[in-house]
Amino acid sequence: MYLTSRLPRLYVRTAQFLGTSTSRFKSNAPAVEERIEIPNRVQRSPTDILNALASTVGRDPTAPHYKYHDDPYLIPMSNVGKRTFAMSQEAGRKAAKYIRDEHRDVFMHQEAQPPIEAFAPKMIFTEDSEVNTDTLHLLIRNSQVTDAVIVYNLLKQKGVEISNDSKQEILELICFYNNEEPLPEELIEERWFKANADARERNRKTWKDGELAEQLFQELEPKTARSYAAIIRGMSKYFQAERAYALLQEATEKQFELDTQTFNAVISVSNFLKETADQRWELCRDLLQQMAHQQLRPNLGTLNAALEVVSTFGNFKLARSSALKVLAEFKQLGIEPSLGTYYYLLIIFCRDRAPVSHIIVDILHELKGREFTIQHPKDTFFFATAMDVCRNHLHDKTLARNVDELLHTGNNYDLIGDTYKEAVYYRHFFALLCQTEPIDEFMKVYDLLVPNVYIPEPGIMEEILKAVEMNGAVELMPRFWSDMVIFDHTNRESLLTRTLQILIDNPPNNDLPAHQSLPEQVGKIALDIYQKIADPEGRRPKDLQFSGKMIGDILALLVRSGNFEKANEVFTHIDKNQHRIPGTPSENCLQEYVNACIENKAPTQAIVCLQYAVENNMDAQPIAESINAGFTLNEVHLSKVKSLVGEHLVGK
């Protein structure tokens, strides 16, 4: 208020001062009228300020996702933990809602003005409830399917007249959700989890035949194009393809003008109507011609629906030629492809049993530097599929880098999809980089993304270990073993075997500074593996058992690290359980253990090792010679050695 009241005075004084100042100078220049132009108002959304602030910060790959508590003890470090933490947080919200609905008498107060409907307990409808058409409209608007059906039945029982418009609205609601209560929008993780589960059953018909949707459709008189569109779309969405197509033909015969979205829905399920590729393509063309006859303009959904049908063709030549025809036709219509369109092109051209295609090169050239927004549900499938093509179809790291650059352009990362698709994307990216990049370059990506953005699965961790083995980078093994423990990968026998193999085949080089502390670290890794497998039955995984080679490698690594006490413990386990352990340690491992016995002056353990070698039909001569040369044996030890290998192998 103070500034508002002062502004007119300041303006007057400023004008008087300027007038006094300019009057001192005589000028013949004509007076110029100054006009203040107020710019047009720019419409802003409620989150524009937050978006502007977020653009100054950028994405931090070293920080955990915002859905996890920023606490070291509450940040998940495995893929199972990530899903468990996220789902448990939503389970807590569901538990709170359950308590609110079960004890509604405690939560009837309204502190907010105006009241917030989402915080209020949910209404419960019974046969005695007083309802009207306004109640029905409110429930339809809030997408409360179960309650809307209950209220609709109550209105019918009470003889309340329900208009055709109301019947049409509830028909559209039931067809969209297939007469099932949808998950709340705030339960993001559960919705993603359910969507992935539904995707695995995408070929199964889930439409509920003979229920309220079909009853409503039969009751609607006179039927309209809108009622036909609702039932056709619902049946197509839940794969009741034959009846959807029959209703489409019925509506066409009755000269109803259906909309483009309805034709798109039927086109997308054409592969369920015909068996062969030629028949599917012919049906798709017929539907497009019907659209043209009704003067309906195709849109992006039509393009992607047609490509979805083409992607089901078993004949790759017909699929490729048909896809190019569709793309050229829609380009003439001025329809711009979305990322979902390019996703369909990739799965059409880059098949496992088809000739190699480099169409992704042209796609990336077309998309380079562009920022996209979601236009079609399949848009979120593009990046994971493109990285899959780079890895498995072309094995090209340069293209993979280009895909990753496109993903991080602008807000394109929003189109990577849910957590599962993000993991699939980085799974292919890591597998390709560790096979093609030098280990130092790969570690830069690894350090940037692991563990907050991506946690390698056991299969990818094995690929990483292969890269370490190929590059001889044994100094990285303590880091990777620590990560495997955190990621809960230590119950995989293949990973343990490869880890031990790398440590055995690449002994530390004491001349290198990075290898100075490596022998001790290697010994700790070997001991950790031994303790995890030798745990009591209740603590270790049931499928994880020692093999002869595995426990032999552990023995050799403990010997090399100078931990002779634990090496004795491991060999005692080998000797006592030799009938349970499949296979035997290698002769080199036993020889290293005997040499350690000689250094530590332990002839009894060395002779036990010799006895083990003899009992398992191994070449015991080198071990016997080492024992004879390294020890001054007493009569008892000497007679034991002679009984095992014979007098001719023991010098006097």
Cβ partners under 8 Å of residue 395, min gap 6: 432, 435, 436
- Residue 530 tokens read as 């031994």
Contact criterion met (CB below 8 Å) for 570 and 581:
no
234 shares a domain with 134: yes
Contact criterion met (CB below 8 Å) for 350 and 359:
yes
* Distance from C-alpha of 412 to C-alpha of 421, rounded to nearest angstrom: 14
* Distance from C-alpha of 215 to C-alpha of 224, rounded to nearest angstrom: 15
628 shares a domain with 574: no
Q: Could you tell me which of 426, 427, 338, 354 has the C-alpha nearest to residue 394?
A: 354
230 shares a domain with 274: no
pLDDT score for 476 = 94
Contact criterion met (CB below 8 Å) for 631 and 606:
yes
Contact criterion met (CB below 8 Å) for 546 and 533:
yes
Q: Give the least confident one: 152-156, 188-192, 550-554, 579-583.
A: 188-192
Q: Is 46 inside any structural domain?
A: no
Q: Is 144 inside any structural domain?
A: yes
CB count, 10 Å around CB of 491? Answer: 16
pLDDT score for 628 = 85
pLDDT score for 541 = 63
For residues 553-573, give the mean pLDDT: 93
598 shares a domain with 553: no
Q: Is 195 inside any structural domain?
A: no
Q: Is 413 inside any structural domain?
A: no
224 shares a domain with 167: yes
Region of residue 562 (left: phi > 0; alpha: psi -120 to 50; beta: else) = left
* Distance from C-alpha of 46 to C-alpha of 250, rounded to nearest angstrom: 46
pLDDT score for 32 = 63
274 shares a domain with 245: no
* Distance from C-alpha of 127 to C-alpha of 125, rounded to nearest angstrom: 7
- Residue 186 tokens read as 């705030």
Q: What is the pLDDT of residues 332-384, one digit of tens each?
A: 999 999 999 999 999 999 998 889 999 999 999 999 999 999 999 999 999 99
139 shares a domain with 225: yes
Residues of the chain with pLDDT > 90, as a percent, come to 57
250 shares a domain with 144: yes
Domain boundary among the residues 192, 224, 258 is at 258
* Distance from C-alpha of 379 to C-alpha of 363, rounded to nearest angstrom: 14
pLDDT score for 83 = 84
279 shares a domain with 175: no
Q: What is the pLDDT of residues 598-608, one digit of tens each?
A: 999 999 999 99
pLDDT score for 33 = 72
Q: Is 232 inside any structural domain?
A: yes
Answering whether pTM is above 0.75, one says yes
For residues 186-191, give the mean pLDDT: 82
Give 635's pLDDT tier (boundaries 50, 70, 90). confident
* Distance from C-alpha of 628 to C-alpha of 606, rounded to nearest angstrom: 10
539 shares a domain with 523: yes
Give 477's pLDDT tier (boundaries 50, 70, 90). very high
pLDDT score for 539 = 60
Domain count, the chain: 4
For residue 120, what is the DSSP state? S
Domain boundary among the residues 569, 585, 601 is at 585
- Residue 420 tokens read as 């599962």
pLDDT score for 42 = 86
Q: What is the pLDDT of residues 290-349, one digit of tens each?
A: 999 999 999 999 999 999 999 999 889 999 999 999 999 999 999 999 999 999 999 999
- Residue 511 tokens read as 């001349």
Q: Is 636 inside any structural domain?
A: yes
Q: How far apart are the first and last CA of the chain?
A: 113
607 shares a domain with 513: no
**Average pLDDT over the chain, rounded to whole?**
87
Buried b or exposed e, range 212-240, using 16+ CB within 10 angstroms? bbbebbeebeebeebbbbbbbbbbbbbbb
Domain that holds residue 506: 479-585
pLDDT score for 191 = 81
Higher pLDDT, 67 or 498: 498
309 shares a domain with 246: no
**Is 505 exposed, middle or buried, given 0-12, 13-18 or 19+ CB atoms closer than 10 A?**
exposed
Give 537's pLDDT tier (boundaries 50, 70, 90). low
Q: What is the pLDDT of residues 4-49, one digit of tens each?
A: 443 344 334 444 443 444 444 444 555 567 888 888 888 888 888 9
Contact criterion met (CB below 8 Å) for 205 and 240:
yes
Residues in the chain: 652
pLDDT at 229 over 70: yes
**Is 610 exposed, middle or buried, given 0-12, 13-18 or 19+ CB atoms closer than 10 A?**
buried
Q: Is 372 inside any structural domain?
A: no
Domain boundary among the residues 258, 277, 301 is at 258
Q: Is 241 inside any structural domain?
A: yes
